[in-house]
């Protein structure tokens, strides 16, 4: 009787545990991809720099939005906008067309940046 009671309690205890909803490979397990687009900021990425126009060029507007408004650097490819994990490296490419190599977190649309170089 005691064994049966322990078995029932054990089974009920296991049944009450939350189910695991699948597993996800860590970002480091993904292969790096290359993304091509323009380095911009999260305030101007969707509508362009004409709305904010924080300087005479897109590059100056991007840098001003970062400095004055606390915006973050992003990569816009004309269709999608990606957040960049590295917020220092994009500064020298502000307003320029670039190649960003890194791993994409599809859920957050964030690229874990490995490198940025000017696109040809």
Task: Count the Cβ atoms, other than its own, within 10 Å of residue 99.
Answer: 16
Q: What is the domain extent for residue 109?
A: 30-118
Count up the domains in the chain and report the number: 1
pLDDT digits (tens, 9 = 90+) for 1-56: 656 544 554 545 545 444 444 444 444 457 999 999 999 999 877 766 656 667 78
pLDDT digits (tens, 9 = 90+) for 82-108: 999 999 999 999 999 999 999 999 999
Bridge-based pairing state of the strands 110-118 and 81-84 = parallel
Residue 10 inside a domain? The answer is no
Mean pLDDT of the region 62-87: 93
- Does residue 35 sit in helix, strand or coil? strand
Residue 21 inside a domain? The answer is no
Cβ atoms of 79 and 37 closer than 8 Å = no
Q: How far apart are CA 25 and CA 37, in angstroms?
A: 27
pLDDT at residue number 104 = 97
Task: List C-alpha distances in Å: 35 to 3, 14, 67, 85, 105.
Answer: 61, 45, 25, 14, 13
Residue 116 has pLDDT above 50, yes or no: yes
Cβ atoms of 51 and 102 closer than 8 Å = no
For CA atoms 53, 56, 62, 68, the dihedral sign is negative
**Tokens (6 digits) for 106:** 């599809």
Does the predicted TM-score (pTM) go above 0.85? no
Residue 10 per-residue DSSP state:
H
Residue 76 inside a domain? The answer is yes
What CATH number has the domain bearing residue 42? 2.40.50
Between 44 and 115, the more confident residue is 115
Q: Give one word for 74, left, alpha or beta, with left for phi > 0 and alpha for psi -120 to 50.
A: beta
């Amino acid at each position: 009787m005691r064994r049966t009671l322990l078995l029932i309690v054990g089974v009920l205890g296991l049944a009450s545990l939350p189910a695991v909803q699948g597993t996800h490979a860590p970002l480091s397990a993904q292969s790096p991809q290359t993304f091509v687009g323009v380095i911009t900021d999260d305030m101007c990425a969707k509508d362009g720099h004409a709305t904010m126009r924080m300087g005479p060029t897109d590059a100056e507007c991007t840098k001003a939005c970062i400095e004055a408004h606390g915006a973050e650097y992003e990569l816009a490819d004309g269709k999608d906008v990606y957040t960049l994990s590295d917020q220092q490296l994009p500064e020298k490419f502000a307003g320029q067309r670039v190649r960003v190599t890194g791993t994409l977190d599809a859920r957050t649309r964030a690229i874990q940046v490995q490198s940025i170089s000017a696109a040809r």
